A and B are shown apart, each in its own frame.
Chain A
Amino acid sequence: MAVIEAKNLTKRFRVADKKPGLWHTLKHFVNRRYRLIEAVREVSFSIEPGEIVGFLGPNGAGKTTTLKMLTGLIHPSAGRVAVVGQTPFQRRHDFLHQITLVMGQKQQLIWDLPAMDSLKINASIYRIDPVEATRRIDELAGMLDLGEELQQPVRKLSLGQRMKAELLAALLHRPRVLFLDEPTLGLDINAQASVRDFLRAYNRQYKATILLTSHYMADITALCPRVMLIHEGKLMFDGSLDALSARFAPYRELNLEFRHEIAREQLESYGEVESAGGHAASLIVPRDRLTHILDELRNGFDVVDFTVTDPPIEQVIGRLFRTGSLEAAAL
Chain B
Amino acid sequence: MKSFAHKLRTITGVQYAALLEYRAEMVLWVAGTVLPFILMGVWMTASAKADLVLQPVEMARYFFATFVVRNMTLVWVVWEFEQQVVKGTLSHWLLQPMDPVWRHFAEHLAERFVRLPILVVIGVVFFAVYPDALWTPGLWDIPIALAAIVLTFIMRFSVQYTFAMLSFWTERAHAIEQLWALPYLFLSGMVAPLALYPQAVQQVLVYTPFPYLIWYPAQKVLGLPTAAGSVEVTLGMAVGVMAFWTLVFILANRLLWRIGIRRYSAMGA
Contacts and interface: CB of A to CB of B under 8 A. Distances in A.
Given A110-B18, A112-B21, A122 B96 contact: yes
A127 interface: yes
> Considering residues A64, A73, A93, A100, which has the most beta carbons from chain B within 10 angstroms of its beta carbon?
A73
B266 A73 contact: yes
Nearest to A110: B18
Interface in A60-91: 64, 68, 71-75, 89, 91
B92 A125 contact: no
A97 B269 contact: no
B200 interface: no
Given A124-B6, A127-B3, A100 B95 contact: yes
Contacts of B17: 113, 117
Contacts of B269: 64, 68, 73, 103, 106
Interface size for chain A: under 10, 10 to 19, 20 to 34, or 35 or more residues? 20 to 34
Interface in A236-280: none
Nearest to B8: A124
B21 to A, nearest CB: 4
A101 B265 CA distance: 16
Interface in B85-114: 88-89, 91-92, 94-98
Given A73-B266, A125-B7, A106 B91 contact: yes
A101 B95 contact: yes
Interface string B139-167: 00000000000000000000000000000
A96 interface: yes
B14 interface: yes
B132 to A, nearest CB: 43
B28 to A, nearest CB: 17
Nearest to B11: A121
B264 interface: yes
Contacts of B92: 106, 108
B10 interface: yes
A301 interface: no
Given A101-B91, A106-B92, A121-B10, A126 B266 contact: no
B96 A124 contact: no
A124 B7 contact: yes
Nearest to A123: B10
Nearest to A107: B92
Contact of A93 (B6, B11, B94, B97): B97
B19 to A, nearest CB: 9
A74 B265 contact: yes
A195 to B, nearest CB: 19
B222 to A, nearest CB: 38
Contact of A91 (B6, B89, B94, B266): B94
Nearest to A111: B18
Contacts of B264: 73-74
B37 to A, nearest CB: 31
B224 to A, nearest CB: 42
Nearest to A13: B265
Contacts of B95: 71-73, 96, 99-101
B93 to A, nearest CB: 8
Contacts of B91: 68, 73, 101, 103, 106
B266 A68 contact: yes
Interface of B: 3, 6-7, 10-11, 14, 17-18, 21-22, 88-89, 91-92, 94-98, 262, 264-266, 269
18 contacts: A13-B265, A68-B91, A72-B94, A73-B264, A74-B265, A74-B266, A89-B262, A103-B269, A108-B92, A112-B18, A112-B21, A113-B17, A113-B18, A117-B14, A121-B11, A124-B6, A125-B96, A127-B3
Given A112-B22, A126-B97, 10 more contacts: A93-B97, A96-B95, A96-B96, A99-B95, A103-B91, A103-B269, A106-B92, A110-B18, A112-B21, A125-B96
List of 9 A-B pairs having minimum Cβ-Cβ separation, nearest first: A93-B97, A124-B10, A108-B92, A112-B21, A96-B97, A124-B7, A117-B14, A73-B266, A125-B98
